[in-house]
């Protein structure tokens, strides 16, 4: 029944897309170059191709670096910014969930929901940095999430290398750049007692574009998130390192990709996790975009018991997203449809009582009061719980 449901909804969204055609927002960069945020975003925080290229170039526009932004120290080996680019992001929402129970208790003023400090820029001609600090994330000081050094043309090669902490799923669809309040649920899914997911982790990310146009990304990560270090100053609480590999290629307006993730986690017992799946992006000019992700995951000991299971636990799901911009990057309003799906046979194979079943469909309308100030109204229906959710609020960057 679940499989029939997911393919029905995926087919509807794919059909909608066919019929219709037949970096975090960082105002510090806009101030630096005296350009509009729309140079890189459509709308903020969603990146255009130019914004992706700018980030991949180490947050530098070659030949357009303002001389006032670098100090003349008399040291040819010191590239020192007079004032590092600085930006802030503030989000606030009101959430309505009639009859909500548990963590969602009906009406709620989530103000502010996020407040973060963002900075990034050059350290040398070939090395850049980027990080943001959460002054408040859902009412708590969350600290640093994205934080890395980026080596452009690492050791003279065509490889870009990021070292630090980032989201494993960033080469797929970036959670932090989505236009909806509803998250991309499959990327932050953890199974049983195992902290492995495709959200934040520590490690390195290498990217390479082949001469024939294919993009490759390889990641090596700890596999246990970004919790504080142990008493022994170790961030990783086992000896394993997990790996991620993604390939993608653009065929005109269609980009297709595939990824695989393999890793282990040990805490009293060992679990081996394998994730893989395809993704697709279809651009119909600059007005309509369709994004699809499907993911399969197996875990052989997700409850970290004394012995592995005879048959691994299967978890699967994905997302389908349609983004409509009536006037392209000059649009005053945008319409986004998002479908999330996740199912797992964890409960039937173990003694776990917290099911991973999740399915929702939503529609978001967002309106640009200003280039850096966006209103949001979102309706989401939780299919599993049969609950309606309405969220209204704003995104701002300054």
pLDDT in the model for residue 218: 98
Distance of alpha carbon 305 from alpha carbon 193, whole angstroms: 10
Tens of pLDDT, residue by residue over 281-339, are: 999 988 999 999 999 999 999 999 988 888 999 999 999 999 999 998 889 999 999 99
Closest CA to 118 of 104, 103, 133, 129: 133
| Inter-CA distances, 384 with 100, 105, 220, 342, Å | 13, 17, 35, 10
DSSP 11-70: HHHHHHHHHHH-----HHHHHHHT--GGGTBSSTTSBPHHHHHHHHTTS--TT---GGGB
Q: What is the mean pLDDT of the chain?
A: 86
Across the range 127-144, mean pLDDT stands at 91
Closest Cα partner for 293 from 394, 184, 391, 202?
184
Instruction: Kindly report the pTM of this predicted structure.
Output: 0.86
Residue ranges per domain, the chain? Answer: 2-397
CATH H-level, domain 2-397: superfamily: Porin (2.40.160.10)
User: Residue 162: which of 279, 171, 60 has the closest Cα?
Assistant: 171
Long-range CB contacts (< 8 A, 24+ apart) of 353-359?
356/189, 356/191, 356/315, 357/2, 357/384, 358/185, 358/317, 358/384, 359/5, 359/6, 359/383, 359/384
- The whole-number average pLDDT for the span 343-352 is 73
- pLDDT above 50 for 13: no
User: What confidence tens digit (pLDDT) does each residue in 137-159 have?
Assistant: 888 888 999 999 999 999 999 99
Alpha helices per DSSP H over 177-287: none
Written as six digits, the tokens of 17 are 């897309």
Q: What is the pLDDT of residues 166-178, one digit of tens each?
A: 999 999 999 999 9
């Amino acid at each position: 029944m679940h499989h029939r449901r997911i393919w029905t909804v995926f087919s509807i969204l794919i059909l909608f897309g066919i019929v219709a055609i037949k970096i975090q927002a960082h105002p510090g960069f806009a101030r630096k170059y005296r350009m509009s945020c729309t140079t890189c975003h459509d709308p903020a925080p969603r990146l255009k191709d130019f914004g992706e290229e700018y980030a991949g170039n180490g947050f530098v526009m070659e030949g357009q670096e303002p001389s006032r932004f670098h100090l003349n120290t008399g040291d040819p080996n010191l590239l020192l910014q007079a004032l590092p680019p600085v930006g802030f992001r503030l989000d606030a929402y009101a959430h309505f969930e009639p009859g909500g129970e548990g963590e969602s208790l009906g009406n709620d003023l989530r103000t502010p929901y996020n407040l973060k400090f963002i900075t990034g820029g050059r350290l040398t001609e070939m090395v850049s940095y980027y990080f943001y600090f959460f002054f408040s994330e859902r009412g708590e000081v969350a600290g640093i999430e994205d934080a890395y050094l980026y080596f452009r043309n690492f050791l003279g090669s065509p490889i870009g290398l990021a070292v630090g902490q980032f989201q494993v799923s960033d080469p797929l669809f970036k959670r932090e750049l989505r236009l909806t309040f509803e998250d991309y649920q499959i990327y932050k899914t953890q199974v049983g007692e195992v902290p492995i997911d495709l959200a934040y982790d520590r490690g390195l990310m290498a990217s390479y574009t082949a001469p024939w146009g294919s993009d490759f990304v390889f990641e090596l990560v700890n596999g246990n998130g970004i919790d504080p270090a142990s008493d022994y100053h170790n961030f990783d609480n086992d000896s394993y390192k997990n790996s991620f590999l993604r390939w993608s290629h653009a065929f005109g307006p269609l980009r297709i990709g595939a990824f695989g993730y393999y890793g282990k986690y040990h805490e009293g017992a060992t679990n081996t996790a394998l994730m893989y799946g395809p993704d697709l992006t279809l651009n119909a000019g600059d007005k309509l975009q369709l994004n699809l992700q499907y993911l399969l995951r197996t875990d052989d000991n997700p409850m970290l018991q004394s012995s592995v299971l005879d048959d691994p636990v299967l978890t699967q799901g994905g997302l389908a997203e349609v983004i409509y911009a009536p006037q392209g990057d000059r649009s005053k309003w945008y319409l986004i449809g998002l479908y999330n799906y996740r199912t797992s046979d964890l409960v039937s194979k173990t003694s776990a009582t917290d099911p991973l079943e999740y399915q929702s469909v939503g529609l978001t309308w967002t309106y640009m009061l200003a280039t850096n100030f966006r209103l949001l109204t979102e309706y989401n229906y939780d299919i599993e719980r049969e609950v309606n959710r309405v969220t209204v609020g704003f995104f701002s960057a300054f």
